[in-house]
């Protein structure tokens, strides 16, 4: 029994799905190898979002895309993650993610001595997918196997134009994103396009309707917003209550 528990090191020992008696190791994303014995180089990134400007003029939802980018523009995206930011609901929210480097870096044409990585953050209006802002942070200490970076970005009321935000990444001839999304680029590690969905769609290609809100969701006294699994694993939506109402589902009138 002890041998089975330790056989996969940092992974899970699972039976093969082909009907045979073989077992194999299912590794978490940050480990690899036939026994999950190797650790991937990665950047643990913490992002805090701060709002600035008139609160009521901001969109109800933002979509945040965080990219780990290799090389100068035109660049290669090697890892990414996405979040939902609700400025009317969260005060200074923090998002934590792991951005993974390639297992086989020789798959890229750049020599190891010329590699420069950076973190790019794109902010989109969740209702219209209008590009709202863009931030760029070089990654220091490239030699560390597990690097850490924490940044705070300030979101203003009006979109911030940037010439860099419009530049194309390497190999961004997107073909898989649906009409319910914008394509931000191509993740070469996952071998897939990066699709940023409208708030009411989900899935890798934004083909799956995410209609979790009904007329009764907030009892007619608030705005129903699809939730983000990074913050809440149990509720699929949250309510932004009208001024006179309170509670997670806007059930009760606020005291005068």
Question: Which pLDDT band, with edges at 50, 70 and 90, does 156 fall under?
Answer: confident
Look at residue 168 in the predicted model and tell me its pLDDT: 39
pLDDT tens sequence across 1-17: 455 567 888 888 887 76
The token duo for 225 is 């917003």
**Cβ(36)–Cβ(8) under 8 Å?**
yes
Distance, CA of 47 to chain centre? 11
| pLDDT above 70 as % of the chain | 78
Higher pLDDT, 224 or 166: 224
Query: Which position has the token pair 């917003």?
Result: 225
Look at residue 98 in the predicted model and tell me its pLDDT: 93
**Average pLDDT of the segment spanning 187-207:** 86
Q: Burial, 256: exposed, middle or buried (Cβ in 10 Å; 0-12, 13-18, 19+)? A: exposed
Higher pLDDT, 168 or 241: 241
**Average pLDDT of the segment spanning 67-81:** 81
CATH code for the domain defined by 213-256:
2.10.25.10
Cα separation of 21 and 35, whole Å?
17
3-class SS at 55?
Answer: helix
pLDDT tens sequence across 172-192: 467 788 888 888 888 888 888
User: Of 120, 121, 126, nearest to 63 (Cα)?
Assistant: 126
Neighbour-count burial for 119-157, b at 16+ CB within 10 Å, e otherwise: bbbbbbbbeebebbbbbeeebeeeeeeebebeeeeebee
Look at residue 204 in the predicted model and tell me its pLDDT: 86
42-167 topology per CATH: Immunoglobulin-like (2.60.40)
- Residue 156, CA distances (Å) to 49, 53, 126, 206 in order: 11, 6, 15, 27
- Other Cβ atoms within 10 Å of 194 Cβ, number: 25
CATH among 3.40.50.300, 2.40.50.140, 2.40.390.10, 2.10.25.10 for 2-39: 2.10.25.10
Look at residue 166 in the predicted model and tell me its pLDDT: 44
CATH 2.10.25.10 in the chain, residues? 2-39, 213-256
- Other Cβ atoms within 10 Å of 103 Cβ, number: 12
Cα separation of 5 and 38, whole Å?
17
Q: Which sign, positive or negative, has the C-alpha torsion 232, 237, 243, 247?
A: negative
Higher pLDDT, 164 or 254: 254
Look at residue 94 in the predicted model and tell me its pLDDT: 85
The lowest-confidence range among 42-51, 67-76, 126-135 is 67-76
Question: Which pLDDT band, with edges at 50, 70 and 90, does 164 fall under?
Answer: very low
């Amino acid at each position: 029994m002890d041998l089975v528990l330790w056989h996969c090191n940092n992974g899970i020992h699972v039976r093969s799905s082909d009907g045979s008696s073989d077992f194999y190791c299912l590794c978490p994303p940050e480990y690899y190898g036939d026994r999950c014995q190797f650790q991937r180089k990665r950047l643990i990134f913490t992002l805090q979002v701060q709002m600035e400007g008139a609160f009521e003029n901001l969109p109800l939802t933002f979509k945040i895309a965080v990219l780990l980018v290799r090389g100068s523009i035109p660049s290669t995206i090697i890892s990414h993650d996405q979040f939902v930011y609700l400025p009317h609901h969260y005060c200074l929210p923090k998002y934590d993610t792991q951005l993974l480097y390639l297992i086989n870096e020789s798959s890229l044409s750049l020599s190891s001595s010329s590699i420069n990585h950076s973190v790019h953050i794109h902010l989109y209006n969740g209702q219209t997918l209008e590009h709202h802002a863009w931030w760029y942070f070089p990654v220091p200490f490239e030699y560390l196997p597990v690097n850490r970076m924490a940044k705070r970005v300030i979101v203003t009321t009006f979109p911030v134009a940037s010439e860099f935000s419009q530049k194309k990444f390497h190999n961004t001839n997107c073909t898989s994103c649906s009409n319910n999304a914008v394509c931000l680029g191509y993740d070469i590690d996952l071998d897939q396009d990066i699709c940023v969905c409208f708030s009411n769609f989900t899935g890798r290609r934004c083909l799956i309707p995410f209609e979790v809100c009904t007329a009764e969701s907030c009892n007619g006294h608030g705005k129903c917003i699809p939730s983000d699994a990074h913050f809440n694993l149990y509720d699929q939506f949250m309510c932004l209550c009208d001024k006179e109402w309170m509670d997670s589902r806007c059930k009760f009138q606020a005291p005068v």
